[in-house]
């Protein structure tokens, strides 16, 4: 009998135990009921990214307040909701998970998650590299519980970590007090409260795969593999992108196929572009990867008022196979990563971005290099504040920001919109002061009633941005040219204007936008590209003359040739 693909992959990871491991995983899978089919991704799909407690209310728990927000402001324009880790946790706003199978009681319960899932497709985080130091697993490890004795990675005298790639500047190894007051050092790639799991242990491998299946049974249609690049560790190596890390992603993908579960995998790897796209494998790993160079490169273009470098990068992107997608975004719960700029811009331009961030009220996080030096890892700042000068008016802030979102929404792939971009949030320095965490600048929690009052104010940045965003999303979903499997072609019509053609199944849209605060003339360039004198702008519904074409400050168009 021909071996299943998942079994063949498992054999490469555990040559001597693969059959027993597979049997246990399969037995666990039989406990669950899965949605076997889901609609394929289309031009109508947009992911809204938020925390379970982004909104709070005196009368209801956060997940209920969140549902009220979604029903009122996201219905009909957003198809997927990515609720960032909503499990019991001890730090890092949810990414230090105490219990993978429970909903944080402060937020609500699984019924609240299911309620959201009845109106929107769900995206869950699978925080698989590490678990909280406050978890029962790690407590069991420290107390000498035999079940957990090999759940974590202990650093012995022969542990060579000299080549390990570090995503942070704190020490890689953290010391704890174990049974009989024994001092033990374990791997903590991201913080001393986030203890790395030992996937070499078959029991960990089985347990975490079961968590993956559990999420699918709870309605997850997309699963985000958090910090997946660092999963597997081998002594004396860089411990990033190792072969068995890729094999695990392949295994999960094969398992989905064999169980006929219509869900998608997205890998979160904030690394240089070539390393990032390696997680597509040979079409047998992730369905989607984050387009990490997009946020910093687009911000750079808008600050410099020069789209040239951005266009050059767009043209260099590899042609993806059908069913492989970039997850396009400009902001997230983390900062704007600068590691993906490696090889794309000069170091002086990264320094320029760092200075702009600090000048505009933001912070900069650093990582430790193998030689002991430090370099910028991410910019911690609201995207609106990053791309706008401090002197910008409300109109200018909103207009420049919406150009950035228009460009992101125009690109081939699946759009991901962070909640604070969706509702026009600015820097939240109070969060940094209160928590001591730089990332808190873009993680504000909002009183739902006060938010609604602000949304009723005419002179409100939130109202302005949200209404413009809703307009763009409604227009975008009417055009199949924006299908994620469609084509895109970049045009150079001057360094002050973005120009891109999207096409799918004989449907064409020409995307053009002014990235500056000044009127620009592109004369007959758009006319020559489209070979038409007239086009309809699907955003406004108005007819546009393409001869002697001019654009007002920050003006944007999605043009359908007439």
The residues annotated as belonging to the active site are 226
Helices first, then strands: H and E counts in the chain: 18, 25
Which residues touch 509 (CB under 8 Å, ≥6 apart)?
479, 481, 482, 501, 502, 503, 538, 558, 559, 560
Rounded to whole angstroms, how far apart are CA atoms 489 and 92?
Answer: 40
**CA-closest candidate to residue 251, choices 11, 72, 468:** 11
Q: Which residues pair with 80 in a beta bridge?
A: 47, 121
What angle separates helix 18-29 from helix 5-13, to the nearest 10 degrees? Answer: 130
**CA-closest candidate to residue 318, choices 277, 279, 284, 269:** 277
Rounded to whole angstroms, what are the CA distances from 196 to 87, 128, 210? 18, 9, 18
DSSP state of 554: T
**Helix, coil or strand: residue 121:** strand
Question: DSSP letters along 297-335, please?
Answer: HHHHHHHHT--HHHHHHHHHS--PPTT-EEEE-S--SS-
Measured from the Cβ of residue 358, the count of other Cβ atoms closer than 10 Å reads 13
Q: Which stretches of 152-307 are DSSP H helices?
A: 202-217, 243-258, 273-277, 294-304
**Helix, coil or strand: residue 205:** helix
Whether 529 contacts 489, CB under 8 Å:
no
Q: Which residue has the tokens 């956060």?
A: 62
Residue 394 has phi, psi (to 5 degrees) of -60, -45
**Helix, coil or strand: residue 203:** helix
How do beta strands 543-545 and 534-537 pair? antiparallel
273: exposed, middle or buried (C-beta count within 10 Å: 0-12, 13-18, 19+)?
A: buried
Question: DSSP letters along 493-534, please?
Answer: S-TTEEEEEEEETTEEEEEEEE-SSS-EEEETHHHHHHT-SE
Geometric angle at alpha carbon 445, from 440 and 447, rounded to 5°? 155
Q: Which residues pair with 543 in a beta bridge?
A: 536
Whether 361 contacts 446, CB under 8 Å:
no
Rounded to whole angstroms, how far apart are CA atoms 489 and 503?
Answer: 9
Whether 79 contacts 46, CB under 8 Å:
yes
Rounded to whole angstroms, how far apart are CA atoms 228 and 33?
Answer: 26
Q: Which residue has the tokens 């109070």?
A: 430
Rounded to whole angstroms, what are the CA distances from 148 to 21, 153, 365? 17, 11, 34
């Amino acid at each position: 009998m021909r071996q299943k693909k998942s079994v063949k992959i498992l054999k490469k990871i555990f040559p001597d135990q693969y059959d027993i491991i597979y049997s246990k995983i399969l037995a666990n899978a039989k406990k669950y009921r899965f949605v076997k089919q889901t609609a394929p991704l289309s031009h109508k799909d947009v992911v809204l990214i938020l925390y379970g407690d982004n909104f709070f209310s005196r009368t209801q728990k956060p997940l209920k307040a969140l549902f009220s927000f979604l029903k009122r402001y996201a219905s009909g324009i957003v198809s997927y909701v990515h609720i960032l880790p909503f499990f019991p946790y001890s730090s890092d706003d949810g990414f230090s998970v105490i219990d993978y199978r429970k909903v944080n009681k402060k937020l609500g319960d699984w019924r609240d998650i299911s309620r959201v899932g009845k109106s929107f497709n769900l995206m869950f985080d699978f925080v698989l590299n590490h678990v909280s130091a406050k978890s029962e697993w790690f407590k069991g490890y420290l107390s000498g519980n035999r079940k957990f004795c090999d759940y974590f990675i202990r650093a012995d005298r022969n542990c060579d970590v000299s080549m390990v790639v570090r995503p942070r500047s704190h020490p890689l190894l953290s010391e704890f007090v174990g049974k009989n007051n024994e001092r033990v050092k374990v791997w903590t790639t991201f913080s001393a409260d986030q203890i790395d799991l030992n996937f070499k242990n078959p029991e960990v491998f089985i347990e975490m795969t079961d968590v993956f299946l559990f999420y699918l049974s709870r309605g997850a249609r997309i699963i985000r593999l958090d910090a997946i690049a660092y999963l597997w560790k081998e002594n004396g190596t860089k411990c990033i992108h190792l072969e068995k890390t890729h094999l695990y992603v392949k295994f999960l993908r094969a398992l989905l196929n064999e169980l006929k579960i219509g869900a998608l995998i997205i890998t979160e790897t904030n690394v240089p572009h070539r390393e990032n796209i390696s997680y597509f494998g040979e079409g047998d790993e992730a369905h989607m990867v984050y387009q990490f160079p997009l946020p910093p490169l687009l911000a750079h273009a808008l600050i410099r008022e020069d789209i040239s470098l951005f266009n050059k990068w767009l043209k260099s992107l590899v042609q993806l196979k059908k069913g492989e997608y970039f997850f396009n975004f400009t902001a997230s719960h983390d900062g704007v990563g600068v590691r993906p700029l490696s090889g794309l811009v000069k170091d002086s331009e990264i320094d320029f971005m760092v200075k702009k961030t600090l000048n505009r009220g933001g912070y900069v996080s650093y990582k430790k290099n193998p030689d002991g030096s430090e370099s910028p890892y991410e910019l911690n700042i609201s995207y609106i504040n990053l791309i706008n000068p401090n002197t910008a008016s409300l109109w200018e802030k909103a207009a420049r920001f919406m150009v950035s979102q228009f460009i992101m929404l125009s690109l081939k792939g699946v759009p991901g919109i962070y909640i604070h971009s969706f509702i026009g949030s600015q820097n939240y320095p109070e969060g940094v002061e209160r928590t001591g965490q730089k990332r808190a600048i873009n993680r504000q929690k909002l009183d739902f009633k006060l938010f609604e009052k602000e949304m009723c104010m005419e002179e409100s940045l939130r109202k302005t941005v949200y209404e413009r965003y809703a307009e763009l999303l409604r227009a975008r979903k009417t055009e199949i040219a924006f299908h994620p499997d469609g084509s895109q072609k970049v045009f150079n019509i001057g360094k002050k204007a973005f120009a891109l053609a999207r096409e799918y199944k004989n449907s064409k849209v020409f995307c053009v936008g002014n990235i500056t605060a000044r009127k620009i003339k592109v004369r007959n360039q758009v006319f020559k590209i489209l070979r038409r004198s007239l086009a309809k702008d699907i955003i406004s519904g108005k007819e546009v003359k393409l001869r002697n074409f001019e654009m007002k400050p920050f003006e944007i168009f999605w043009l359908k040739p007439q």
